[in-house]
Chains A and B, each alone.
With several copies, the nearest count.
Chain A
Amino acid sequence: MINQADTLFVLLSAAFVMLMTPGLAFFYGGMVRRKNILSVLMQCFVALCLLSLQWILFGYSLSFAPGSGFWGGLSWFGLNGVGTAPYAGYSATIPHEAFMVFQMMFAVITPALIIGAFAERMKFSAFLVFTLLWATFVYDPLCHWVWGEGGWLRNLGVMDFAGGIVVHTSAGVAALVTTIVIGKRKNLEHTPSPHNLPFVVLGTALLWFGWYGFNAGSALAVNGIAVNAFVVTNTAAAAAGLSWALLEWIRNGKPTVFGIVTGSIAGLATVTPASGFVSPISAIIIGIAASIVCFIAVAVTKPRFGYDDSLDAFGVHGVGGILGTLLTGVLASKVINPAGANGLFYGNPKQLLIQLIGVAVAAGYTFLATFAIYKLVDIFFRMRVSEKDELVGLDLTQHRERAYTILE
């Protein structure tokens, strides 16, 4: 039975999540040097176009068709059989196509998140091929394992409400792999200042807004779980933003704009897998934990290991996603969501173990598959731009455009 309110809610949520990819573009675009902002906006925008089509043609089928435990297969190729009738395996109250398009937006933003790791130095043609292959061979299988009907991690009892594993752990680990393999940016005496912090703030605002659709929309219905997800999403973002600023204030003497928005994003990424299962008070704990752990990853660990994750795609999204998935195993409560499970704090330590297995499997698979895809594309296309192109900037060398004029 189609419920009109649920259908409207899911369609609107899909639109909210669509806006996150341009939001991410500004979030990342503001951070790079001004000679590279268009390349970041372009990579995000082309991901929206390319992966929308991939999803319609075969991505949705690979991810959600009832194939084996490991992949969905091609029975829904070209949306064959995916129509306006509900599919009870995912939601009995909305048209199957509404679920498909909502999920499409997740499939778009996940590969776009990785851009932060190799920003300012990847060749555009290689990026296209890499992104298409990564979506097909990393995102789609993982999505099936965790969310697809018959997926083996789902059957194991792994809880990932809106994408702590599928979106943030996978993109974050892929970010770590690509940043290490592609190497550091040239001629950097020190990390360049963001060329446009107001853009970073604008991007954060769009992401935060879109995240309501991301998390609350994942309830797929207008119900208490959606409302709770909405509240905990906001709460975790607030707690994390504030605590990051406080950490900086204590450690460095000043709270920064860049810090408070980074903290908010870390909080949002971390609460994502938990949003359907935890209380608002737990969300405060999640937010604070997100800030502390991501702060250490970005400000302490990264400089020590010396890898150049340009925009901290791993440090914020990867670390946040992994942390959030584990915290779900600690703080989940059946009082919030009877369809879920209790976590460690509610007397069920086994759930934490299940979450750990889920994260470890996803991270391990992502690590290996991303490495293989990178190397393969590198052989045929060379992933990295030439040194001169990198110094001149990707906007001019990859797209023959520039973002800002001077004098006129």
Chain B
Amino acid sequence: MKLVIAIIQPYKLEEVKEELYKVDVNLITVSEVLGHGRQKGVTEVYRGSKETGNLLRKVRLEIAVNDNFLEPTIKAIVKGAKTGETGDGKIFVLDLKECIRIRTEEQGSQAIG
């Protein structure tokens, strides 16, 4: 099992969700985060003077998948989130040791879906 963490542009969330549904990945945890990377912040204007913030709003997705779902999940995220411009984001993949469905106390692979 793997835990996929993706940091994407907020306005790409809907597209990424759609792509994930197409590959039957339905369980996602979404949060709003601030990201800092190579991309310069959108220039904001403060009463006429321009200010560049360096922390940017991003959306963070957390998706637990069985191993055979890993590549389709990555592809779906890339398909939905890629524009080719700096700031598109990153995908991180971690090993997931265990997964428990709280309602049934099922463990492992079958608890993920």
Direct contact of A and B (CB under 8 A): yes
Also in contact, A254 and B11, with CB within 8 A (given A189-B54, A407-B34):
no
Q: Which residues of the other chain, A, contact B106 by a CB distance below 8 angstroms?
A: none
In the complex the two chains form, is B51's CB within 8 Å of A190's CB? yes
Asked if A335 is an interface residue, CB under 8 A from chain B, the answer is no
Q: How far is the CA of A391 from the CA of B53 in the complex (A)?
A: 19
Residue of B nearest to A247 (CB): B48
- If over half of A's interface residues share one DSSP class (helix, strand or loop), that class is named, otherwise mixed; here it is helix
Q: How far is the CA of A368 from the CA of B57 in the complex (A)?
A: 43
Q: How large is the interface on B (under 10, 10 to 19, 20 to 34, 35 or more residues)?
A: 20 to 34
Asked if B42 is an interface residue, CB under 8 A from chain A, the answer is yes
CB distance from B45 to the nearest CB of A (A): 4
Residue interface bits B1-37, CB-to-A below 8 A is 1, else 0: 0000000001110110000000000000000101000
In the complex the two chains form, is B11's CB within 8 Å of A191's CB? no
CB distance from A315 to the nearest CB of B (A): 8
Q: Which residues of the other chain, B, contact A299 by a CB distance below 8 angstroms?
A: 47-49
Which residues 305-353 of A sit at the B interface, judged by CB distance below 8 A?
312
Query: Which of the segments A22-30, A79-87, A131-139, A256-264 contacts the partner chain?
Result: A256-264
Also in contact, A191 and B49, with CB within 8 A (given A388-B11, A406-B57):
yes
Also in contact, A401 and B45, with CB within 8 A (given A189-B54, A406-B32):
yes
CB distance from A269 to the nearest CB of B (A): 15
Residue of B nearest to A396 (CB): B42
In the complex the two chains form, is B43's CB within 8 Å of A400's CB? yes
Q: How far is the CA of A252 from the CA of B43 in the complex (A)?
A: 10
CB distance from A88 to the nearest CB of B (A): 45
Asked if B44 is an interface residue, CB under 8 A from chain A, the answer is yes
In the complex the two chains form, is B48's CB within 8 Å of A298's CB? yes
CB within 8 A of A262: which of B12, B43, B47?
Answer: B47
CB within 8 A of B45: which of A187, A259, A312?
Answer: A259
CB distance from A394 to the nearest CB of B (A): 12
Asked if B109 is an interface residue, CB under 8 A from chain A, the answer is no
Q: How far is the CA of A299 from the CA of B46 in the complex (A)?
A: 8
Asked if A53 is an interface residue, CB under 8 A from chain B, the answer is no
Give the residue among B14, B15, B49, B54 with the most A Cβ atoms within 10 A.
B49
Residue of A nearest to B32 (CB): A406
Which residues 239-266 of A sit at the B interface, judged by CB distance below 8 A?
244, 247-248, 251-252, 254, 256, 258-259, 262
Q: Which residues of the other chain, B, contact A251 by a CB distance below 8 angstroms?
A: 48
Asked if A392 is an interface residue, CB under 8 A from chain B, the answer is yes
Asked if B39 is an interface residue, CB under 8 A from chain A, the answer is no
Q: Which residues of the other chain, B, contact A393 by a CB distance below 8 angstroms?
A: 11
Q: Which residues of the other chain, A, contact B51 by a CB distance below 8 angstroms?
A: 190-191, 193
CB within 8 A of A312: which of B12, B47, B52?
Answer: B47
Residue of B nearest to A393 (CB): B11
Residues of A within 8 A of B (CB-CB), count: 32
In the complex the two chains form, is B11's CB within 8 Å of A193's CB? no
In the complex the two chains form, is A191's CB within 8 Å of B50's CB? no
Q: How far is the CA of A174 from the CA of B10 in the complex (A)?
A: 33
Q: How far is the CA of A391 from the CA of B51 in the complex (A)?
A: 21
Residue of B nearest to A188 (CB): B14
Which residues 69-94 of A sit at the B interface, judged by CB distance below 8 A?
none
Q: Which residues of the other chain, A, contact B57 by a CB distance below 8 angstroms?
A: 406
Q: Which residues of the other chain, A, contact B44 by a CB distance below 8 angstroms?
A: 193, 396, 400-402
Also in contact, A252 and B45, with CB within 8 A (given A187-B14, A193-B53, A392-B11):
yes
In the complex the two chains form, is A248's CB within 8 Å of B45's CB? yes
Q: Which residues of the other chain, A, contact B54 by a CB distance below 8 angstroms?
A: 189
CB within 8 A of A298: which of B15, B49, B52, B53?
Answer: B49
Residue of B nearest to A255 (CB): B45
Give the residue among B11, B53, B54 with the most A Cβ atoms within 10 A.
B11
Q: How far is the CA of A401 from the CA of B15 in the complex (A)?
A: 24
Q: How far is the CA of A248 from the CA of B44 in the complex (A)?
A: 12
Q: Which residues of the other chain, A, contact B45 by a CB distance below 8 angstroms?
A: 248, 252, 254, 256, 258-259, 399-401
Give the residue among B11, B44, B46, B50 with the most A Cβ atoms within 10 A.
B46
| Given A189-B54, A400-B44, 5 further pairs, Cβ under 8 A | A252-B45, A254-B45, A298-B47, A396-B44, A406-B57
B→A interface (CB under 8 Å): 10-12, 14-15, 32, 34, 42-54, 57
A–B complex contacts, Cβ < 8 Å, 10 sampled: A187-B14, A190-B51, A193-B53, A259-B45, A259-B47, A302-B49, A303-B49, A391-B12, A400-B45, A401-B45
A→B interface (CB under 8 Å): 187, 189-191, 193, 244, 247-248, 251-252, 254, 256, 258-259, 262, 295, 298-299, 302-303, 312, 388, 391-393, 396, 399-402, 406-407
The 3 closest A-B pairs by CB, nearest first: A299-B48, A391-B11, A400-B45
